[in-house]
Amino acid sequence: MIAAGESKTCTVTNDDIGAKLTVVKHVVNNNGGTKTAADFTITINGVTAIGGNTFAGSAAGTTRTLSTVGAYSVTEVAVLGYHLASASADCSGTIALGEQKTCVLTNDDNAPS
């Protein structure tokens, strides 16, 4: 309650909610390959990820909170004997504050020649 002649100050502070990007790495070993998700190096490009933009792949997924938002893409270093079989739609595009996206990268070992 505010009495006559009294003044009070109210301060409201808003904090932005960082975007989150999860990268899941699947590896298919149906032609004699032995690599695991951790053998692949993943990079988030175009935005800044807390904890680093480059990391080892993970079948369970690696989640990064982004300190900047906007256009991004997810890439990986090629591994001999494997090809990128698919990348989900959320492996590139635009991400905004508060958004959560999941990129799934799937690699398959090459068939013997």
Kindly report the three-state secondary structure assignment for every residue of 89-106.
HHHEEEECCCCEEEEEEE
Q: Are 93 and 71 in contact (CB under 8 A)?
A: yes
Question: What CATH number was assigned to the domain covering residues 19-109?
Answer: 2.60.40
pLDDT beneath 70: ranges in the chain: 14, 113
Instruction: Please tell me the distance from the alpha carbon of residue 49 to that of residue 65, in angstroms, as a whole number.
Output: 6
Q: Give the pLDDT confidence score for residue 13 in this predicted structure.
A: 72
- The owner of tokens 């398959």 is 108
Domain ranges for the chain: 19-109
Closest CA to 77 of 28, 29, 38: 38
**pLDDT tens digits, 8-38:** 888 877 677 899 999 999 999 999 999 999 9
Chain centre to alpha carbon of residue 104: 9
Q: Give the pLDDT confidence score for residue 45 in this predicted structure.
A: 98
| pTM reported for the whole predicted model | 0.86
Q: Give the pLDDT confidence score for residue 12 in this predicted structure.
A: 76
Q: Give the pLDDT confidence score for residue 51 in this predicted structure.
A: 96
